[in-house]
């Protein structure tokens, strides 16, 4: 289990497979420098960012799934730790941002779908809902995607959300963290913050 969680009563977490751009998005949200990398598995411990004023923080959690050079048992342990972290703090987490690689997600999901296999991304999406954390799916790296509409509709379909994706703008947010194009995510997060009566946190999104 991850140690040393700062004592904050409101939180937004970033979760997802390794190398999808969680830390890049974290940098974009917070304006702080965060380690990012070409190689998966850069973030091994949660990165918490809090501010002097509000009782709020954003947490960039380690990625899981395939990572070059990282043994399977370590990858599984990271995933277990991430799930436990979210479970343990679910009552404080206002929004769970599930980051996907828009270019790769559908192929990876389809490759890992089977009679006794649920893909990590799909599992995590339903897990967030199960623990009553509002999920927002940040479909990242859209700068590399040509068939945007089709891709977003396929992602909805795999997550059990009836297409077209435009019906789910509080849940599905196409972005490019690297380019700083994150308006759709800000909108979706604000929607949930508003529902939670937390317009005071709009300053961060
Ligand atoms: N083309 C493109 N590349 C991106 C985008 N966002 C992130 N990347 C790249 O994706 C790679 C991984 O980014 P990270 O932010 O380190 O990914 P991560 O999800 O934090 O990875 P872990 O810490 O291993 O879980 C880096 O090379 C980033 O520059 C994006 O919007 N577009
Ligand atoms: Mg990272």
How big is the CA angle at 204 (ends 133 and 14), to the nearest 5 degrees? 40
With vertex at residue 201, the alpha carbon angle to CA 198 and CA 202, rounded to the nearest 5 degrees, is 105
In this structure, the strands spanning 47-50 and 56-60 are antiparallel
Looking at the CA of 103, name the nearest ligand.
1
Protein residue closest via CA to atom 16 of ligand 1: 36
Can you tell me which residue has the tokens 């297409």?
Answer: 163
Half-sphere exposure at residue 186, Cβ-oriented, CA atoms within 13 angstroms: 13
pLDDT of residue 41: 62
| CA nearest ligand 1 atom 27, residue | 38
Cα(9)–Cα(89) distance, integer angstroms: 9
Reported ipTM: the value is 0.98
Give pLDDT, residue 141: 98
Contact by Cβ (8 Å): 177, 21 = yes
pLDDT at 67: 74
Pick out the chain residues at pLDDT < 70: 1-3, 37-43
The answer to the question of residue 147 being in a domain is: yes
pLDDT of 2 reads 67
Q: Which residues pair with 97 in a beta bridge?
A: 14, 136
Ligand 2 center–CA 191 separation, angstroms: 26
Distance 154 CA to ligand 1 centre (A): 22
* Residue 205 within a domain: no
What is the CA(63)–ligand 2 centre distance, in A? 7
What pLDDT is stored for residue 71 in this prediction? 85
CATH of the domain at 123: 3.40.50.300
Closest CA to 15 of 85, 99, 103: 99
Per-residue model confidence (pLDDT) at position 51: 84
Closest Cα to atom 10 of ligand 1: 21
User: Does some domain include residue 3?
Assistant: no
Residue 28: domain span: 10-196
Total domains present in the chain:
1
């Amino acid at each position: 289990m991850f140690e040393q969680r700062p004592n904050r009563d409101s939180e937004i977490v970033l979760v997802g497979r390794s190398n999808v751009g969680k830390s890049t998005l974290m940098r974009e949200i917070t304006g702080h420098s965060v380690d990012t990398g070409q190689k998966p598995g850069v973030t091994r411990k949660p990165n918490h960012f809090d501010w002097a004023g509000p009782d709020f923080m954003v947490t960039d959690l380690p990625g899981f799934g395939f990572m070059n050079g990282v043994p399977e048992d370590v990858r599984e342990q990271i995933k277990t730790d991430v799930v436990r972290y979210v479970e343990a703090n679910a009552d404080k987490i206002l929004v769970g941002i599930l980051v996907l690689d828009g270019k790769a997600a559908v192929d990876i999901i389809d490759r890992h779908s089977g009679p006794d296999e649920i893909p990590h991304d799909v599992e995590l999406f339903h897990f967030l809902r199960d623990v009553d954390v509002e999920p927002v799916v940040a479909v990242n790296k859209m700068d590399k995607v040509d068939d945007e509409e089709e891709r977003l509709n396929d992602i909805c379909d795999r997550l059990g959300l009836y297409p077209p994706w435009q019906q789910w703008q509080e849940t599905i947010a196409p972005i490019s963290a690297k380019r700083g194009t994150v308006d759709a995510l800000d909108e979706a997060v604000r929607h949930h913050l508003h529902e939670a009566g937390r317009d005071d946190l709009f300053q961060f999104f």
